[in-house]
Amino acid sequence: MYEIEHWINGKRVKGTSGRFADIYNPATGEVQGKAPLATPAELDDAVAKAAQAQKLWAKVNPQRRARVMMKFGALINEHMDRLAQVLSREHGKTLPDARGDIQRGLEVVEVCMGAPAMLKGEFTDSGGPGIDLYSMRQPLGVVAGITPFNFPAMIPMWKMSPAIAAGNAMVLKPSERTPSTALLLAELLQEAGLPDGVLQVVHGDKEAVDAILDNETIQAVGFVGSTPIAQYIYGRACSNGKRAQCFGGAKNHMIIMPDADMEKAADALVGAGFGAAGERCMAISVAVPVGAETADRLVELMVPRIEKLKVGPYTAGEDMDFGPLVTPMAMERVKGLIASGIDQGATAVTDGRDFSLQGYENGFFVGPTLFDNVTPEMDIYREEIFGPVLSQVRTDNYEEALKLVMDNQYGNGTAIYTADGEIARDFASRVNVGMVGINFPIPVPLSYYTFGGWKKSGFGDLNQYGPDAFRFYTRTKTVTERWFQHIEHGTETAFKPMG
């Protein structure tokens, strides 16, 4: 049993609250560690120290700050395997998935190596007689990141890298269910040359989060997690005068047109529906075939693929397809939703509730579950399940399929499989979802674009990473300056408008 610590001013510091969160080993079901849950006083202390450190960090020139990112990137590569082990041990995802999690974070670090270019201001020469205008981007000060359990490396890196490269200090509150990876990242950043205090890692639950939201020094809050919490944090942060961007849950639909490559569509649905045990905000959780023949064919193609999926602990080898869910509560919730699907009349083509693995009977495993004939009123359609459950909703035509996606409360990601460019273009143009895949099931944009959902998947007006992140973590100051002219300026005649 291990007890983790906070990371304050470049050192591991024991929590003082006496309250802890259990950290499970999801494959065995054991509680393997505890994470301290910070008090408001501990949080405020971390913020005060971050504010001191930030004053100096903001004066370090952008290129030097970018060099810290370069070294950080190199260290992440060097420590990839250790990071992946620590991540999988708490999260349960397979090692290739854990490395993917780290890699997608690393790609954002790489973009932050170009921070100086992102931070350049604007300049207008002679906006009036002797008058120049320029704008500059200045860091906000201390900002906070609050992150979910499902990407313990990637999302903390999405938050900390642009914030720090832009000259802020960050107080990061990672998920108390998968907290250790963030501590390793903090150590690597220190080794990369980040001054102590510029990144603080404080573990906690609602109490620490509320202290973040009410702390007057914190200027901005970047949140990723479930929709009810995203909405709550957005409201409270904004009413306290902070900038906030809060990304929430999802229900991602994939439309399959009759002309699609069915084998490829089936591969995509099985990979994007069940990969990472469905614990991805960009997982496909709803298949929307157009036409009965398309629907029947898809089921026929998916079943043998599902039967081949290897479900097991990350320690079982690199070829596992997915692992257990993160906690017993998550497993019970997913099993409860599967039961509700059956009760409410959906057809369970496969049912993963009784999945069991010798030697891991107490692990939080749920097998791949495919539902057909799902309707929009059912709980399995309305709720984000966040488990290895794929629901098929049959539709008669493209317009009906598109309407289903548009009417859904979530708008994180969506995809269409088709051979028809006109339909694909129409879909990309009309759909009210933030990230769209065309013959591409999980359209997470590359790190030099931006990531963000619409509707109840995102609150706030800027996306994560890419150029938007630099806008979010800086504020613009615009200077109008005049230098009085005492020098004779050449012989050019003054400009006179025509007429």
List residues binding ligand NAD (CB under 6 A): 146-151, 173, 175-176, 205-206, 209, 224-226, 229, 247-250, 281, 384, 386, 412, 453, 457
Phi-psi region of 379 (alpha: psi -120 to 50; beta: other; left: phi over 0): alpha
Q: What angle do CA 139, 142, 147 make, to 5 degrees?
A: 110
Q: Closest CB to ligand NAD among 155 and 189?
A: 155
Q: How far is the CB of 121 from ligand NAD (least distance, A)?
A: 29
* Per-residue CA distances from 411 to 94, 459, 466, 483 (Å): 27, 11, 20, 51
Q: Closest CB to ligand NAD among 113 and 282?
A: 282
From the list 415, 448, 477, the residue with the least C-alpha distance to 253 is 415
Q: Closest CB to ligand NAD among 69 and 283?
A: 283
Dihedral sign, Cα of residue 237, residue 243, residue 249, residue 253:
positive
Q: How far is the CB of 283 from ligand NAD (least distance, A)?
A: 8
Contact partners, residue 281, CB within 8 Å, separation at least 6: 150, 224, 247, 249, 250, 412, 413, 453, 457
What's 451's DSSP letter?
A: B
Q: Closest CB to ligand NAD among 176 and 321?
A: 176
Q: Closest CB to ligand NAD among 12 and 206?
A: 206
Q: How far is the CB of 223 from ligand NAD (least distance, A)?
A: 7
Q: How far is the CB of 178 from ligand NAD (least distance, A)?
A: 8
- The number of angstroms, rounded, from the C-alpha of 163 to the middle of its chain's C-alpha atoms is 15
Round to the nearest angstrom and report the end-to-end CA distance of the chain. Answer: 85
Q: Is residue 333 classed exposed, middle or buried when 0-12, 13-18 and 19+ CB atoms within 10 A define those classes?
A: middle
Q: Which residue is nearest to ligand NAD (CB)?
A: 225
| Catalytic status, residue 246 | no
The radius of gyration computed from the CA coordinates of the chain, to the nearest angstrom, equals: 25
Which of 112, 238, 246, 281 is an active site residue? Answer: 281
Q: How far is the CB of 238 from ligand NAD (least distance, A)?
A: 15
Residues designated catalytic: 281
